[in-house]
């Protein structure tokens, strides 16, 4: 970064240089990320950068920007650098190694909101809550909902609690440490849950070494879905009915090319009304199903 030692940079000049630098490091959206990083360093939004495009930068501002740019060039995720990301209209705090919310997961939230429309004070489990993004989005949009958010990582659970407090929904979300649905067994929920929702790990174990460098900063437990990527979908298909009321909803995010396999798993475990939903790119992203109204299935 030799040229960044210049002391007479303007905002626009530095943006152009940083864009080329990030592009040379393989960053997918170098201009946008250069704008976001410089805006973060200067406490300006993108419009503010261009309104002040010819303003010279002082040495202190350059000193704040340089380490951010270097981190991103080395593959450190942008969201971790900023310390936050947006999800379903909510600002979510994020720090390593907690799984970073992705835009495609908004389809999961939309699917649940649509299917619980008209439910009075629904009880929902968000299994593997991570940063708490799904639970918080549901709580924000279902004013009477009570949500039980489970997570195996203490670091993630702590961050999720922090996010819920900042989003002013912590009074309606119970955070529980443990593996998948196991923390719910001690609660003895009357009548059962209305929905079990999960964005489980779904990357096949063999694909993990080939992931982009930035993904490897995230907790492997939030990524590794077993040999076929459907280990946790299978467990949720087998275990969720115990906690749901008759007709209750199970909604799970799936990886590319996994929807048909997960739908077959659900059908094999006796679930009803199995549906596959696409994200905005046309990728099959969410699979939903209903517990039978009279659930006498005795399969293994």
Catalytic residue among 65, 88, 99, 148: 99
- Rounded CA separation 67/81 (Å): 10
- Burial (CB < 10 A; 0-12, 13-18, 19+), residue 212, is exposed
At 75, list the tokens.
């593959």
Q: 3-class DSSP state for residue 274?
A: strand
Q: Which of 296, 115, 278 is nearest to 195 (CA)?
A: 115
Selecting among 30, 122, 200, 201, the annotated active-site residue is: 200
Q: Which helix (H) or strand (E) holds 140?
A: helix 133-141
Residue 113 CA to residue 107 CA, distance in Å, equals 10
200 included as an active-site residue: yes
Note if the bond before 162 is cis, omega within 30 degrees.
Answer: no
Q: What is the rounded distance in angstroms from the CA atom of residue 259 to the CA atom of residue 252?
A: 10
Which of 199, 201, 232, 243 is labelled catalytic?
199
Q: Is 88 among the catalytic positions?
A: no
Catalytic residue list contains 212: no
Q: What is the CA radius of gyration of the chain?
A: 22
User: What distance in Å separates the CA atoms of residue 101 and residue 204, rounded to the nearest whole number?
Assistant: 19
Q: What residues are annotated to the active site?
A: 99, 199-200
């Amino acid at each position: 970064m030799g040229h960044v030692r210049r002391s007479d940079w303007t905002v626009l000049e530095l943006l152009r240089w940083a864009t080329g630098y990030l592009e040379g490091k393989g960053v997918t959206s170098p201009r946008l990320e250069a704008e976001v990083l410089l805006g973060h360093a200067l406490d300006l939004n993108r419009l503010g950068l261009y309104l002040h495009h010819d303003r010279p930068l002082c040495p202190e501002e350059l000193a704040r920007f340089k380490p951010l740019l270097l981190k991103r060039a080395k593959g450190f995720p942008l969201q971790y650098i900023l310390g936050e990301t947006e999800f379903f209209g909510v600002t979510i705090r994020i720090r390593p190694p907690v799984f970073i919310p992705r835009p495609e997961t908004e389809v999961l939230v939309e699917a649940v909101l649509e299917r619980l429309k008209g439910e009075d004070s629904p009880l929902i489990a968000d299994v593997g809550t991570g940063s708490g993004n799904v639970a918080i989005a549901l709580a924000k949009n279902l004013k009477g909902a009570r949500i039980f958010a489970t997570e195996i990582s203490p670091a993630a659970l702590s961050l999720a609690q922090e996010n819920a407090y900042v989003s002013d929904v912590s009074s309606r979300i119970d955070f529980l440490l443990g593996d998948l649905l196991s923390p719910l067994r001690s609660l003895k929920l009357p009548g059962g849950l209305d929905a079990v929702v999960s964005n489980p790990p779904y990357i096949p174990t063999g694909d993990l070494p080939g992931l982009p460098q930035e993904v490897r900063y995230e907790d492997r437990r939030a990524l590794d879905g077993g040999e076929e990527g459907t280990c946790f979908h299978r467990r949720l298909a087998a275990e969720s009915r115990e906690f749901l009321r008759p007709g209750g909803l199970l909604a799970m995010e799936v990886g590319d090319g996994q929807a048909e396999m997960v739908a077959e798993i659900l059908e094999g475990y006796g679930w009803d009304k199995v549906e596959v939903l696409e994200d905005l790119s046309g990728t099959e992203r969410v699979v939903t199903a209903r517990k039978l109204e009279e659930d006498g299935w005795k399969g293994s």
